[in-house]
Amino acid sequence: MLSAENLADLVSSYNPKSNRSQLIAAYHYGQRMHDGQFRKSGEPYFSHPVAVAEILAKQKLDDATIITALLHDTIEDTPASKAEVAELFSPQVADLVDGVTKLTNVQLSSVETKEAENARKLFMAIAKDVRVILVKLADRLHNMRTIGSMRPEKQMQKARETMDLYAPLAGRMGMQSMREDLEDLAFQVLNPEARDSIRVRFENLRAASGDVVERITGDMRLELDKAEIAAHVYGRQKKPYSIWRKMQEKDLPFSRLSDIYGFRILCDSESDCYRILGVIHQRWRAVPGRFKDYISQPKTNGYRSIHTTVSGRDGKRVEVQIRTFQMHEVAEAGVAAHWSYRDGVRSKNPFTVDPVKWITKLVNEVDDDDDEAFLEAVKLEMFADQVFCFTPKGDVIKLPKGACPIDFAYAIHTRIGNSCVGVKVDGMRVPIWTTLRNGQSVEIITAEGQHPVSHWLDLVETGKAKTAIRRALREMDRGRHVTLGRELLRSAFDHYDKKMTDKLIETAAKKLRLESGEELLARLGSAEQSARETVRILFPDIQDDKNTHVDHQRAVIGLNTGQSFTRRPCCEPLPGERIVGILTAGSGVCVHAINCDSLERFEEKPDLWIDLHWHDGKHAAIYPVTLQMTISNDAGVLGRVCTVVGEAGANISDLKFVDRKPDFYKIDISVDLSDVEHLVSVLSRLEAEPEVATVQRLRRTDTT
């Protein structure tokens, strides 16, 4: 374990102006607080905070961060208090220690807590002071290095948590070296056989072909010396987890992997980077499609470098990364480089990016009450590679790998995304589900009145797009449900010869303990609440025999003796809807819904109109209604739709394909229903299906 004096010497080596006495005082205070505590391995517990402080000191961080590392477990595990730490050291240190303590208490993989809710807490803590997560990552790194003393089930839990959250978080913050260490340590626990197998294959390869890394490094140095370019060249074999992940992604055995070695060339200036690229490509053949310029288009975490893959010695493919020394510092240390010190002053690296900006942006873009959407957005942000596309004006839009034009539209503005109807990529009209590639120019076509549809959620990749689509769909569904609910409730009031008023609606909402009358109407429209039950709540003395079955031949009241009725196909009225009759030649009566457009033809013929209403009681499911649907063109989707209709107690009497596309079908289906509430139930079930893009009741104009 590093002594207090040795730790102070380490910090002084890069920051001569550090407060040596305070560092030593914090060391001894932490040692005293943890006295008598031991780790699972039997070591004194204080060896852990010292190791965490040493990790951060090697990253040349400020005094407050180092002291926080020494004290990061004191508030939680010892008699020390935040007030005492603030008094002895500083309020800033106390806040940092308290922040790390809160992160420690956020058990992200615990079954007792909500992962999504805790992820939000984690990122809110980071947004207050990014040094909190630097200490937490160093804490996790040392715990993973010493994980062998834990119980096997605890090792698996911590390793999975590290792989799923902490390693990608380190990567998103640009701390690539720490990310690789965390991934490899977690990989050793999660899949030790695979890791050992890759290490053995590396050893066999080295025994068979010698030190390939040293030979290729020598060749590169020779070419750069010829071009009189001063640069530092070094190579390495890639980490076992990196190799294993590539084997899984490409479904290739180890023997067929081409770029298992990586080489870095560091130089003084950006112009030298491009000169070096020219030297490498002149000497070795570049592999098509394996060139990335992150200098002209940096990653969102501040990463800058040129990547190219070439066929090296003996035809072996090798990856070459070219960057300046300043770029390399950010590539390895990420945001830690923003806080590092040299010669007593904070380092001014121009390439560092403050992660608080993207964290704050992420928090602001996702609904406050939607923790699941927040977690989804976090994972998308951390795991996704970036692609860069251009607006027609030349502005660069950064998107995750796999993004489509809808993502692009929402990245510009939510209004653009909501009204997107088409897209042109590089001047050509393409489907909106097209996967975008680096360097493409994208033009979004919009139209007034356009709204998002549910299947867009399956197309988009970005958290911002998913959140905006969900919000728009909720608003659209609510508006539709409120309108339908009002009509259902009015019909129920009419059924009992009662007059519906806004005051009665509000009264019913209060009795049902709902926030507002609008909430009640929305529940009625989505079939969560019965309209007639709502009326009976207001008028409990109403008698209603639900078990009375209605003879379908006498379902309509208001006809004269001997008159028969026919439901018109233009509006296909259902029991529960307001209806009117139109006399026809002979003794027949055509029944229309009161809002049917076809009734306009009879406005000048009042003598043909007959006041009708449906008979009270339970109607048989014999009244066909046509629904128009757009569904995914995938195996089993149509069968699933038919199953959903059947589960709702309805029968499909006819089905017709209206339009066939490679990805979607538009169909008209005739469904036999009993009343308007039955219709609402069927529509709600169909709308809930992810493969159903749109579904609506089809209304026509009667031309007969």
| Helix ranges, 19-105 (H) | 20-33, 47-57, 63-71, 74-77, 82-88, 91-105
Average the pLDDT over 23-38 and give the result.
94
348 or 152, higher pLDDT: 152
Long-range CB pairs of 541-546 (<8 Å, 24+ gap) are 542/496, 544/496, 544/616, 545/617, 546/617, 546/618
Q: How far is CA 531 from CA 48, 312, 450, 528, in A?
A: 64, 75, 31, 10
pTM exceeding 0.75: no
d(CA 630, CA 621): 24
Check whether 20 has a pLDDT greater than 90.
yes
Average the pLDDT over 402-426 and give the result.
91
Output the six-digit token pair for 144: 């993973």
| Per-residue pLDDT tens digits for 284-316 | 888 877 888 999 888 777 789 999 988 865 667
Check whether 107 has a pLDDT greater than 60.
no
Q: Are 574 and 547 in contact (CB under 8 A)?
A: no
**Where does the pLDDT of residue 108 fall: very low under 50, low under 70, confident under 90, or very high at 90 and above?**
very low
pLDDT value of residue 113? 38
Check whether 50 has a pLDDT greater than 90.
yes
**Where does the pLDDT of residue 552 fall: very low under 50, low under 70, confident under 90, or very high at 90 and above?**
confident
Check whether 111 has a pLDDT greater than 50.
no
Output the six-digit token pair for 573: 């009225």
d(CA 533, CA 253): 65
- Which residue among 9, 76, 506, 702 is the active-site one? 76
Residue carrying the six token digits 């390399």: 328
Which string of b and e fits 465-474 if b means at least 16 CB within 10 Å? bbbbbbbbbe
| Per-residue pLDDT tens digits for 462-486 | 878 888 888 888 777 788 788 888 8
Residues of the chain above pLDDT 70, percent: 85
C-alpha torsion 25→77→158→242, nearest 10: -10
Q: How far is CA 352 from CA 163, 272, 439, in A?
A: 24, 20, 24
Residue type, 374: F
Q: In Å, how far from its chain's centre is CA 602? A: 54
pLDDT value of residue 343? 63
Cβ neighbours for 550, distance < 8 A, ≥ 6 positions apart: 575, 615, 616, 617, 618, 619, 620
Active site residue 668: no
- Output the average pLDDT for the chain: 83
Picking from 120-124, 238-242, 565-569, which range would have the lowest pLDDT averaged per residue?
120-124
d(CA 336, CA 202): 32
d(CA 365, CA 468): 9
Average the pLDDT over 73-81 and give the result.
90
Residues of the chain above pLDDT 90, percent: 29
pLDDT value of residue 542? 75
pLDDT value of residue 139? 93
Active site residue 687: no
DSSP line for 143-202: HHHTGGGS-HHHHHHHHHHIIIIIHHHHHHTT-HHHHHHHHHHHHHHH-HHHHHHHHHHH
Cβ neighbours for 258, distance < 8 A, ≥ 6 positions apart: 309, 316, 317
| Per-residue pLDDT tens digits for 671-686 | 999 988 889 888 888 8
Q: Are 453 and 693 in contact (CB under 8 A)?
A: yes
Average the pLDDT over 426-434 and give the result.
88
pLDDT value of residue 26? 94
Give the E-state strand segments of 312-405 in sequence order: 317-324, 341-342, 345-346, 386-390, 396-400
Check whether 217 has a pLDDT greater than 80.
yes
pLDDT value of residue 51? 95
Picking from 112-121, 235-244, 390-399, 653-662, which range would have the lowest pLDDT averaged per residue?
112-121
pLDDT value of residue 118? 58
- Which contiguous run of DSSP H or E holds residue 262? strand 261-267
Q: Are 552 and 622 in contact (CB under 8 A)?
A: yes
Check whether 10 has a pLDDT greater than 80.
yes
53 or 457, higher pLDDT: 53
**Where does the pLDDT of residue 110 fall: very low under 50, low under 70, confident under 90, or very high at 90 and above?**
very low
Check whether 116 has a pLDDT greater than 80.
no
Check whether 70 has a pLDDT greater than 90.
yes
227 or 688, higher pLDDT: 227
d(CA 366, CA 468): 8
pLDDT value of residue 109? 44
| Per-residue pLDDT tens digits for 367-383 | 555 555 666 566 555 55
- Which contiguous run of DSSP H or E holds residue 340? none
| Residue-range domains of the chain with CATH | 4-175 (1.10.3210.10), 202-333 (3.30.460.10), 472-538 (no CATH), 552-614 (no CATH), 623-697 (3.30.70.260)
Check whether 112 has a pLDDT greater than 50.
no
Output the six-digit token pair for 454: 């549910």
Report CA torsion sign: 111, 114, 116, 120.
Answer: negative
Average the pLDDT over 186-193 and give the result.
91
Q: Are 82 and 94 in contact (CB under 8 A)?
A: yes
- Which residue among 43, 62, 77, 117 is the active-site one? 77
Average the pLDDT over 567-587 and give the result.
86
Most confident stretch, 337-351, 373-387, 483-497: 483-497
Q: How far is CA 231 from CA 272, 342, 360, 468, in A?
A: 9, 23, 38, 48
